[in-house]
Every structure is written in structure tokens, then in C-alpha cells.
């Protein structure tokens, strides 16, 4: 029984390891969300092109300057435009992208609901 | 009632999806950035190419003068192609051509200039590529037309006769 309790505690503590996210993890997270504009289809993190390597250095520098993740995204957005982000915001160019799944979900839900009510 | 609405809805939904995907097919998959945006040039510190002294960007770009910032490198093959056009543009005294040496070996770069000529009024060094990022550049070669500390136009890729004519028209 004691062993079991110990075992449960160890398992519960295990995922907390990832809370020690250092600077490196933050940098990796940011570069994974930046599109390599030379090698399109790859993230900056995955790429080893000249452009991507320079971008990684810039991300490091900005992190050292104490900029937050969002500020760094904003910085690259003003330099290169929205396209550089893999997670685009909601605006007039992307509203279909964001609203279509919700719309389809609602219509699908309505169909199911209707046929369910009628069957009843 | 139910049998009439359902197929109708399905057709509409598929129609919408088809329309969106069909439109997506027409669009170019390669991102072409906005080249006409007026942006203020970035502020940076760097080193001069020949003397390797520290320089500030504000001492390079003065107001009321037209500059062409050209990012180049000795290892870049298209830069070799565009170099004669830069030499040509240099004949016009109105235009000040500034070079940004991108991630290069300085000896190779000097040999490059000895071989093909030096059209640049001033050259500064971007050893790790971070200044190019400040400029919002994609790589080499790339050129920016600058007036009053604003980027008027951006040329991605090597210059050719057509673009040279366009630049000559713009600076008139």
C-alpha cells in the first residue's frame, strides 16, 4: 500500500519536470511558430537556411533584451507581415479560416438536432 | 419537409467548400511580400567594410538624398549577375549606392570587388545576418530604394535591365 502511494506521487510529479522551461525552450517554441520565408513549408526551427539561422540569432537577442513572446511576434509581424506567423490572428483576410469550422459545426449540429427532434 | 431541406443544405455546404478550395487553387503558393510599403529605415550599429571601424546607420543615410541599399555577398551567384547593373547605376550621380556585405568572408568579398569593380559609395558588414532581418530582408541579393530615411521600394532578387530602368525613372 505504501509503495502504491509512493508510486502515485512519483507519477504525479513527473510531468512537473517540464515546468522548468528555460530560455532555450522558449526560443524553440517561438521559432517553431515562425515560418521560414525562404524555405516555405518549414518552420524557422526546422530550417538550417541562412535566413532561418539569422532569425534564430535575432530571437535570442530579443529574449535577452527581455521582450515577451508576443512582443517578438509583433516585431516580426511589422518586419515581414502576418505570413511569418504560423498562428494567424483574426482579420479581414483570415475570417473565413476562423469562422468556417464554427459555421460547419453549427450547421451540422442543426441537422443532427433536427433529425433527432423529428425522430422523437 | 425534412427530405427536401437536407439534400439542399448538403449541396450548399459542399458548394461553399468547393468554392473556397477552388479559389485557393488559383492563388500563388509562394508568398510574395508587399514591396511598396513606406517604412522608416531601421537604426543599427555596424562596422565599415574596409576600415572595420564602428559606424552608426544615421551617419550613412542622410536626409534629402536618394540611396540604393544593396545586400550582396561574394558567395551569392545572382549577385555576380546583377553587379554590372549596379556599376551602370553608379554612373548616375544622384543615386548613392550603399552595400551591405551579408555573411561573407571579407577576403573573398574584397576579391569580388577587385574582380568586378566597386559600385558602392559605402559598404558595411552584416556578419551574422541580423541587420538584414532588421531591414526585413529575405536574403541575397536584395535592394532597397531609400529617400528621406524611408524605404520607397524593395527589390527582392537580382536587378535586371527592366528594374534599372524603373529605378532611373523613380529617381528622376
B2 inside 8 A of chain A by CB? yes
Residue B149 falls within a domain, yes or no?
yes
What is the average pLDDT across B81-89?
Answer: 91
**Can you give the residue range of the structural domain that contains B141?**
39-170
Residue B109 falls within a domain, yes or no?
yes
A119 inside 8 A of chain B by CB? no
Can you tell me the ipTM of this complex? 0.73
Evaluate whether the domain defined by A21-87 bears CATH number 1.10.8.640.
Answer: yes
Residue B96 falls within a domain, yes or no?
yes
- Convert B53-82 to b/e letters by CB count within 10 Å (16 or more is b): eebebeebbeeeebbbbbbbbbbbeebbeb
Tell me whether residues B128 and A118 touch, CB distance under 8 A. Answer: no
Model confidence pLDDT, tens digit, residues B11-58: 999 999 999 888 888 876 666 666 666 788 888 889 999 988 898 888
Residue B20 falls within a domain, yes or no?
no
- What pLDDT does A27 receive? 87
Q: Is the dihedral of CA B31, B43, A34, A70 positive or negative?
A: negative
Q: Judge contact between B82 and B159, C-beta under 8 A.
A: yes
Q: Calculate how close chain A gets to B9, using CA atoms only, in Å.
A: 9
Cβ-in-10-Å burial (0-12, 13-18, 19+) of B92 comes to middle
Q: Where are the beta strands (DSSP E) in B38-113?
A: 39-40, 45-48, 54-56, 66-72, 95-102
Q: Binning pLDDT at 50, 70 and 90, where does residue A72 land?
A: very high
Residue B134 falls within a domain, yes or no?
yes
Residue B4 falls within a domain, yes or no?
no
Does this model's pTM top 0.95? My answer is no
For residue B102, the domain's CATH number is 3.40.30.10
* Nearest Cβ partner for A40 among B6, B31, B136: B31
Q: Is the dihedral of CA A113, A119, B2, B3 positive or negative?
A: positive
Residue B132 falls within a domain, yes or no?
yes
What is the average pLDDT across B144-164?
Answer: 89
- Cis bond upstream, residue B127 (ω within 30): no
Residue B82 falls within a domain, yes or no?
yes
A53 inside 8 A of chain B by CB? yes
Backbone angles phi, psi at B46, to 5 degrees: -155, -170
Tell me whether residues B130 and A57 touch, CB distance under 8 A. Answer: yes
What is the average pLDDT across B166-172?
Answer: 85
> Total domain count for chain B?
1
Amino acid at each position: 500500500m505504501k509503495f502504491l502511494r509512493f508510486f502515485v506521487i512519483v507519477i504525479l510529479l513527473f510531468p512537473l519536470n517540464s515546468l522548468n522551461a528555460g530560455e532555450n525552450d522558449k526560443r524553440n517554441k517561438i521559432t517553431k511558430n515562425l515560418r521560414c520565408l525562404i524555405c516555405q513549408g518549414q518552420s524557422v526551427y526546422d530550417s538550417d537556411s541562412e535566413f532561418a539561422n539569422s532569425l534564430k540569432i535575432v530571437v535570442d537577442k530579443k529574449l535577452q533584451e527581455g521582450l515577451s513572446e508576443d512582443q517578438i511576434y509583433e516585431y516580426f509581424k511589422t518586419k515581414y507581415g502576418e505570413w511569418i506567423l504560423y498562428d494567424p490572428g483574426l482579420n479581414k483576410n483570415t475570417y473565413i479560416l476562423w469562422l468556417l469550422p464554427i459555421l460547419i459545426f453549427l450547421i451540422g449540429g442543426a441537422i443532427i438536432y433536427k433529425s433527432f427532434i423529428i425522430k422523437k | 419537409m425534412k427530405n427536401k431541406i437536407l439534400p439542399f443544405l448538403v449541396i450548399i455546404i459542399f458548394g461553399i467548400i468547393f468554392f473556397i478550395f477552388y479559389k485557393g487553387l488559383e492563388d500563388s503558393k509562394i508568398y510574395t511580400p508587399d514591396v511598396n510599403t513606406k517604412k522608416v529605415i531601421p537604426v543599427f550599429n555596424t562596422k565599415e567594410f574596409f576600415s572595420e571601424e564602428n559606424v552608426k546607420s544615421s551617419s550613412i543615410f542622410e536626409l534629402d538624398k536618394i540611396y540604393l541599399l544593396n545586400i550582396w555577398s561574394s558567395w551569392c551567384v545572382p549577385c555576380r549577375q546583377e553587379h554590372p547593373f549596379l556599376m551602370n547605376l553608379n554612373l548616375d550621380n544622384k543615386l548613392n549606392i550603399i552595400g551591405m556585405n551579408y555573411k561573407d568572408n571579407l577576403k573573398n568579398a574584397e576579391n569580388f570587388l577587385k574582380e568586378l569593380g566597386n559600385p558602392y559609395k559605402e559598404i558595411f558588414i552584416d556578419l551574422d545576418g541580423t541587420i538584414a532581418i532588421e531591414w526585413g530582408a529575405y536574403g541575397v541579393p536584395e535592394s532597397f530604394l531609400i529617400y528621406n530615411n524611408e524605404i520607397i521600394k524593395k527589390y527582392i532578387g537580382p536587378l535586371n535591365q527592366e528594374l534599372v530602368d524603373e529605378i532611373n525613372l523613380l529617381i528622376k
